[in-house]
Amino acid sequence: MDFKDLVQQRYNVKKFDGRKIDEAKLTELFDVVRYAPSADNLQPWKIKVISDPAVKEKLLPAIMPFNHEKVKTCSHLLVFCANKELNDHWKRLDEKMKAAGYPEDVIEHMATVAKMIMAREPQERLSRSQWDVFLAVGNAVNGARSLGFDSSLFGGFNAKELARILELPPGLVPTLLVALGYAADKPLKKVRFTKDEVFF
């Protein structure tokens, strides 16, 4: 499918039909997400994958009621978390780049950028990481459509409560949720601003 057609067909599903996504397709999607753009290749995201109905039910008190139906009926729920504690994260990435044969000057430049980010206040580090999470979510929802299933992204939840229920490490902050599955509803006609209204 042409990418232009794909993004025009993708929509935010309100209710799924309960069918499970094939594991092979899910694995393909995870690769699409992993290759999302990331500023300075920092990749400051972690994604919790939830398919157990009991766990999804347990999360509902932390999620706004108007999002409950999609959580209950989706095949998988992805909790996209921004990582604001980047020291260990950077060390692992540094090792991977050296093993891949990255030029030393490139590694040094990225190390300088990483140190600048890690020296910022926690809220600034979080915001910086969340920028990249948004890019990964874009890959997830468009990737789902390209693989023949549907998605719904949303931010209507209590991040602290969600982190508590899932027992996430303190450095990981739930930023956006993406429900995956097969739509049981129909898309409305897309309403978008015109090119002239957007580009100037």
- The residue behind tokens 């039909």 is 17
pLDDT reading at 17 higher than 90: yes
Q: Which two tokens stand for residue 28?
A: 């393909």
pLDDT per position as a tens digit, 18-65: 999 999 999 999 999 999 999 888 999 999 999 999 999 999 999 999
Helix (H, G, I), strand (E, B) or coil at 4: helix
Question: Which CATH number do you get for residue 83?
Answer: 3.40.109.10
Full-model pTM: 0.94
**E strand spans, the chain:** 45-50, 76-83, 150-154, 172-181
pLDDT of residue 85: 86
Q: Evaluate if residue 86 carries a pLDDT over 90.
A: no
Split into its structural domains, the chain has a count of 1
pLDDT tens sequence across 97-155:
999 999 999 999 989 988 888 888 888 989 999 999 999 999 999 999 999 999 999 99
- Residue span of the structural domain in which 181 resides: 3-198
Mean pLDDT of 164-181: 97
Q: 178 near 151, Cβ under 8 Å? A: yes
**Which pLDDT score is estimated for 173?**
97
Collapsed DSSP state (helix, strand, coil) of residue 73: helix
Across 167-171, average pLDDT: 94
What band does 189 get if pLDDT is binned at 50, 70 and 90?
very high
Q: Is the dihedral of CA 35, 37, 43, 46 positive or negative?
A: negative
User: In this model, does residue 1 exceed pLDDT 80?
Assistant: no
